[in-house]
A and B are shown apart, each in its own frame.
Chain A
Amino acid sequence: MTTPPVTAPPEAPATPVTAMRVVGQRVSHHDFVEKVKGSLLYAADWQLPGMLYGRLVRSLVPSARIVSIDTSQARALRGVAAVLTGADIPRNTLVERASGGLGEMPVAMPILAGERVRYVGEPIAVVAATTQQIADEAAELVAVEYEELPGLYDMEAALEPGAPLVHDEGNLLVSWHIARGDCDAAMAGADVVVEGKYRTQHVEHAYLEPEAGVGWMDNDVVTVRASTQVIEHAAEIAEILDLPANKVRVIAAYMGGGFGGKEDMTVEPFIALLVWKTRRPVRMIWDRQESMLASTKRHPFIMRYRTGASREGKIIAQDIDILGDAGAYPYLSARILFAGAALACGPYQVPNVSVRARPVFTNNVPTSAFRGFGAMQVTLGYESQMDQVADALGMDRAELRRRNFLAKGDVIPTGETLDTAVAVDETLRRALGALGDRSEPSAAGRLIGRGFACNMQPYGRTIWFRDRAAVWLTLQADGSLLIRSGVTDLGAGQAASLCQIASEILGVPLGDISVYIGDTALNPPAGGTFATRQLYMSGNAVLNAAHDLRASIDPVAADLLGCPVGDLRYEDGLVRAGGSADAGGSADAGGSAHAGGSAEARGLSLAELARACDAQAVETSCLSTWRAESGIFDPAKGQGASFPDYTYGTHAAEVEVDPETGEVAVLRYVASHDVGRSINPMRVEGQIQGGAMQGLGYALTEEIVFEDGLTASSLFSSYFIPTSMDMPDIEVEIVESGEGKGPLNARGIGEPPVGPAAPAIANAIADAIGCRPTRLPMTAERVLALLDQKQGFSGPAPQ
Chain B
Amino acid sequence: MTKAQVTLKVNGVLRDVWVSPSDLLLDVLHDGLGLGEVRYGCGEGVCGTCTILLDGEPVSACLTLAVQAEGHDVTTLSALLGEDDSLHPLQQAFLRLGGSQCGFCTPGVILTAHSLIRRERAPSREQIRYELVGNLCRCTGYTKILDSIEAYIAGLGAEHADPAGTAGPGTGDHRLGEPGTDGPGTDGPGTDGPGTDGPGTDGPGTDGPGTDAAGPGADADGEAP
A719 to B132, CA, bound (A): 17
The answer on a CB contact under 8 Å between B140 and A208 is no
Inter-chain CA distance A217–B220, complex, in Å, is: 42
Flag if A36 contacts B98 (CB, 8 Å).
no
Q: Complex: how many Å from CA A35 to CA B145?
A: 13
Give Cα distance in the complex from A256 to B139, angstroms: 9
A-side interface mostly: loop
Q: Tell me the nearest residue of chain B to A31, going by C-beta.
A: B103
B174: chain A residues within 8 A (beta carbon):
none
B101-147, CB < 8 A from A: 101-107, 110, 128-130, 132-133, 135-146
Residues on B with C-beta less than 8 A from A686 are 98, 101, 139-141, 144
Contact between B208 and A719, CB atoms less than 8 A apart: yes
Q: Which chain B residue lies CB-closest to A41?
A: B36
Task: Decide: A685 and B46 in contact? CB cutoff 8 A.
Answer: no
- Chain B residues with CB under 8 Å of A254's CB are 102-103
In contact, B203 and A663 (Cβ under 8 angstroms) = yes
> Within 8 Å of chain B (Cβ to Cβ): is A37?
yes
The interface centre, meaning the residue of B37, B40, B44, B101 with most chain A CB atoms within 10 A of its CB, is B101
> Which of the segments B65-73, B88-96, B162-170 contacts the partner chain?
B88-96
- Near B by CB (< 8 A), chain A positions 691-711 give 691-694, 696, 700-701
Chain A residues contacting B224 (CB-CB under 8 Å) are 717
Asked if A49 is at the interface (CB within 8 A of a chain B CB), the reply is no
Q: Which B residues are in CB contact (< 8 Å) with A209?
A: 39, 41, 49, 102, 104
Chain B residues numbered 61-92 whose CB sits less than 8 Å from any CB in chain A: 76-78, 81, 85, 87, 91-92
Contact of A690 among B39, B101, B200 (CB under 8 A): B101
Is A586 in contact with chain B by the CB < 8 A criterion? no
Q: How far is the CA of A689 from the CA of B138 in the complex (A)?
A: 10
B210 within 8 A of A: yes
Contact B141 A37 (CB under 8 A): no
B199 interfacial contact with A, CB 8 Å:
yes
Give complex CA distance A36, B140 in Å: 14
Q: Decide: B205 and A725 in contact? CB cutoff 8 A.
A: no
Residue B47, interface by CB 8 Å: yes
- A491, B102: Cβ atoms under 8 Å? yes
Contact partners of B95 in chain A: CB under 8 A? 28, 32-33, 36
**Central interface residue in B78, B91, B139, by most chain A CB within 10 Å:** B139
- Complex CA–CA separation, A737 to B100 (angstroms): 28
Cβ of A682: which chain B residues have Cβ within 8 Å of it? 97-98, 144
Residue B214 at the chain A interface, CB threshold 8 Å: no
Q: Does B2 contact A (CB under 8 A)?
A: no
- Check: A490 CB closer than 8 A to any chain B CB: yes
> Which of A490, A729, A777 sits near B102, CB closer than 8 Å?
A490
Is the beta-carbon distance between B103 and A725 smaller than 8 angstroms? no
The answer to whether A42 touches B41 (Cβ under 8 A) is no
A779 within 8 A of B: yes
Contact residues, A331-389 vs B (CB, 8 A): none
Please tell me if A184 contacts chain B, counting CB pairs below 8 Å.
no
Which of B92, B97, B100 has the most chain A CB within a 10 Å cutoff? B100
- Known A31-B103, A39-B36, A726-B203; contact A690-B140, beta-carbon cutoff 8 A: yes
Whether A725 lies near B130 (C-beta < 8 A) is yes
Please, which residues of chain A bring their CB within 8 A of the CB of B143? 689, 729-730
Q: Nearest CB to that of B144 among chain A residues?
A: A686
A70 within 8 Å of B (CB atoms): no
Q: Is the CB of A718 within 8 A of B36?
A: no
Once A and B bind, how many residue pairs between them come within 8 Å at the CB atom? 216
Q: How far is A352 from B208 in the complex, measured between Cα atoms in Å?
A: 45
Taking the complex as formed, is B190 at the interface, i.e. its CB lies under 8 A from any CB of chain A? no
CA–CA, A718 and B92, complex, Å: 34
CB distance from A442 to the nearest CB of B (A): 12
C-alpha gap A455/B136 in the complex (Å):
27
Distance from A288 Cβ to chain B, minimum over Cβ atoms (Å): 4
Shortest A174–chain B CB gap in Å is: 31
* CB-contact partner of B40 in A41, A210, A259, A780, under 8 A: A210
Chain B 179-204 interface mask (CB, 8 Å, partner A; 1/0): 00000000000000000000110011
Q: How far is the CA of A208 from the CA of B135 in the complex (A)?
A: 10
- Cα-based distance from A696 to B139 in the complex (angstroms): 13
The answer on a CB contact under 8 Å between A723 and B133 is yes
B43 located at the interface, meaning its Cβ lies under 8 Å from any Cβ of chain A in the complex: yes
The residue of chain A having its C-beta at the shortest distance from the C-beta of B94 within the complex is A36
Q: Assuming A45-B36, A682-B97, A715-B44, is B106 touching A36 (CB within 8 A)?
A: yes
A727 contact set on B, CB distance < 8 A = 141-142, 204
Q: How far is the CA of A685 from the CA of B99 in the complex (A)?
A: 11
Q: Is the CB of B102 within 8 A of A256?
A: yes
Known contacts: A38-B78, A208-B49. The answer to whether A725 contacts B87 by CB under 8 A is no
Q: In the complex, which residues of chain B have a beta carbon less than 8 angstroms from the beta carbon of A256?
A: 39, 102-104
Report the separation of the CA atoms of residues A506 and B131 in the bound assembly, to the nearest whole angstrom: 45
Asked if A724 and B36 sit within 8 Å, CB to CB, the answer is: no
Residue among A207, A209, A719 with the highest chain B CB neighbour number at 10 A: A209
Q: Is A299 in the interface zone, CB < 8 Å from B?
A: no
Taking CB atoms, residues of chain A closer than 8 Å to B43 are 287-289
Residue B146 contacts which of A32, A491, A696, A729 (CB distance < 8 angstroms)? A729
Of A663, A717, A781, the residue contacting B210 (CB under 8 A) is: A717
Q: CB < 8 Å: which of A45, A208, A730 contacts B138?
A: A208
Contacts of B36 in A (CB 8 A): 38-42, 45
How far does the Cβ of B134 sit from chain A's closest Cβ, in whole Å? 8
Could you tell me if A208 and B41 are in contact, using CB atoms closer than 8 angstroms?
Answer: yes
B90 to A, closest residue via Cβ: A36
The 8 A CB mask of B142-159 against A (1 = contact, 0 = none) is 111110000000000000
Given A257-B102, A719-B208: A664 and B203 within 8 A (CB)? yes
B46 touches A716 (CB 8 A): yes
- Residues of B within 8 Å of A34, CB to CB, are 103
Partner of B144, one of A36, A255, A689, A696: A689
A170 within 8 A of B: no
> In this complex, which of A33, A683, A729 has the most chain B Cβ atoms within 10 angstroms of its Cβ?
A729
Question: Does A492 interact with chain B (Cβ within 8 Å)?
Answer: yes
Of residues 467 through 509 on chain A, the ones whose CB sits less than 8 Å from some CB of chain B are 490-493
Are B210 and A724 in touch, CB under 8 angstroms? Answer: no
Asked whether, in the complex, the Cβ of B44 is within 8 Å of the Cβ of A716, the reply is yes
B218 contacts the other chain (CB 8 A): no
* A720 in contact with B208 (CB, 8 Å): yes
Q: Which residue of B lies closest to A715 (CB)?
A: B44
Q: A40 contacts which chain B residues (CB < 8 A)?
A: 36, 103
Q: In chain A, what residue has the closest Cβ to B97?
A: A682
Name the one of B96, B104, B107, B133 contacting A724, with C-beta atoms under 8 angstroms.
B133
User: In the assembled complex, which residues on chain B have CB atoms less than 8 Å from the CB atom of A780?
Assistant: 203, 205-206
**Contact assessment for A208 and B144 in the assembled complex, using a CB-CB cutoff below 8 Å:** no
A40's nearest neighbour on chain B, judged by CB, is B103
B199 touches A723 (CB 8 A): yes
Partner of B103, one of A35, A47, A259: A35
Contacts A689-B144, A723-B136 aside, 8 further interface pairs with beta carbons under 8 A come to A36-B99, A38-B106, A133-B1, A491-B102, A682-B97, A693-B140, A725-B133, A729-B146
A residues apposed to B, CB below 8 Å: 26, 28, 31-42, 44-45, 47, 133, 205-210, 254-257, 259, 285, 287-289, 490-493, 663-666, 682-683, 685-686, 689-694, 696, 700-701, 715-727, 729-730, 777, 779-781
Give the 8 A-B residue pairs with the shortest CB-CB distance, closest first: A491-B102, A35-B103, A38-B37, A256-B104, A693-B141, A689-B141, A38-B77, A288-B42
A-B contact pairs, 12 of them (CB 8 A): A36-B100, A37-B77, A38-B110, A40-B36, A42-B36, A209-B41, A209-B49, A256-B103, A689-B141, A696-B204, A724-B142, A729-B142
